[in-house]
């Protein structure tokens, strides 16, 4: 739960999740959408992976990142505890 909230506590990382909502993308494609350096984006992707919010798959030189919804469901459960 800690790594999840930590990962979500950054606007760039939340934007990345919204990008991946549409479709999987490579690290480079993701980086193109932001003004930060590639190492910075790589670091954000690492935190998202640590939180299990995304998974990564290496194909040749490219690394494709995919949104992983299962952890979001956990957050949803935590939230719903307040709705009663």
Partner DNA sequence: TAGTCATTTAGACAAATATCTAAATACCCT
Partner DNA sequence: AGGGTATTTAGATATTTGTCTAAATGACTA
Which residues are near its own copies by CB under 8 A?
Answer: 1-2, 5-6, 8-11, 14, 17-18, 21, 67, 69, 72, 75-76, 79, 81-83
Closest Cα to residue 8, out of 63, 78, 84?
Answer: 78
What would the DSSP string read from start to end of the chain? -HHHHHHHSSHHHHHHHHHHHH--EEHHHHHHTSSS-HHHHHHHHHHHHHTTSEEEEEETTEEEEEE-THHHHHHHHHHHTT--
Pick one of 19, 27, 71, 75: the residue that binds DNA (CB under 7 A).
Answer: 27
Stretch near DNA under the rule CB under 7 A, chosen from 16-24, 40-48, 72-80: 40-48
Choose between 37 and 66: whose C-beta lies nearer to DNA. 37
Residues at the contact surface with DNA, assessed by CB under 7 A: 6, 9-10, 12, 26-29, 31, 35-40, 42-47, 56, 58, 60-63
């Amino acid at each position: 739960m800690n790594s999840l909230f930590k990962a979500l506590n950054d606007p760039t990382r939340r934007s990345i999740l919204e990008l991946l909502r549409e479709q999987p993308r490579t690290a480079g494609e993701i980086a193109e959408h932001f003004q930060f350096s590639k190492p910075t984006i790589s670091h954000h992707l690492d935190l998202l992976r640590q939180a299990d919010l995304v998974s990564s798959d290496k194909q040749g030189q490219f690394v494709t990142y995919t949104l992983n919804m299962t952890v979001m469901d956990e957050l949803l459960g935590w939230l719903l505890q307040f709705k009663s």
